[in-house]
Amino acid sequence: MKSIQDSYVMANGNKIPCVGFGTWKLTDPGTAADIIKTAIDCGYRHIDTAFAYYNETYVGKAIRTCGLKRTELFVTTKLSNGSHGYENTLKEFEMSMNNLDIDYVDLYLIHWPRPYAIRDTWKEHLEGTWKAFEELYHAGKVKAIGVSNFLEHHLEALLETASIAPMVNQIELHPRYVQRDVVRYCKDHRIVLEAWSPLMKGEFNYPVLEELSKKYNKSIPQILLRWSVQHGFIPLPKASTRERMLENADIFDFELTEEDIEALKELEAYGMTGSHPDTATF
């Protein structure tokens, strides 16, 4: 990979840009669309949103007014926790499409595998949800389908009844939380890995990160994003300023050594920054 516009190839042959732009918490009606348009102007071609982010309308506006052809952009949205099951999935997808006001979605993901309200019946709901996903895929309304926050047992449950395997799994990934087992499983099954919270929610006060920042004359966010790229993950960094967007994209002119990667393993002692898929209370 040599730039944020370079791509991986998913199991269905479609391409997905190697760095995305995250939009969680971009909900200000006065600025959200302009921030996303700025990201596109900075070279980002992969925009990640979700029904639960309450910003699909702003994402859609940015896509429609950025000056690029629709085919030049890769757009992801996600099914919310309150809409699992066959009928609910189809209803919410139409709501997402109305919000986005675009002809198709490049990638549609199940946001979480075991929502709190259906924790005891999640497998039953998952079967219906994925059936709807497969129908949307066959209809051409989505170009690829996948999941988010799925561990191995969630993926195994899905594959028991699926006709189409998920093409992407978006999970929390960064040096503090490497999730080796599910990463290995996904790579073995040709499931592309996306990294949410690749910047560890801004928790940068670790000597090893400061040392690597000085060594390469790069910011700590650049070190963390480079870590993702070198592991074959697609990071989804967020930023609100052009300066930070450009900085986050400038990660292809250096390479962490094996010794650097090994040194970063000490951060694993600090663990995740988000919720566990089997115990999240939402």
Residues recognised as catalytic: 53
User: What are the residues facing 147 on neighbouring strands?
Assistant: 110, 169
And the tokens for 168?
């992407």
- In the numeric block, the tokens 């490049």 are attached to 106
CA distance 48 to 253: 25
CA distance 131 to 253: 43
Helix and strand counts by DSSP (H, E) for the chain: 10, 10
Please name the residue ranges forming H helices in 66-160.
Answer: 86-100, 122-138, 152-159
User: What are the residues facing 75 on neighbouring strands?
Assistant: 47
Q: What is the dihedral of CA 77, 83, 89, 93, to 10 degrees?
A: -40
Q: Do 134 and 145 form a contact (C-beta atoms < 8 A)?
A: yes
CA distance 166 to 147: 7
Please name the residue ranges forming H helices in the chain.
Answer: 32-41, 56-65, 86-100, 122-138, 152-159, 180-188, 207-216, 220-230, 242-249, 258-264
CA distance 116 to 119: 5
What type of residue sits at position 113? P
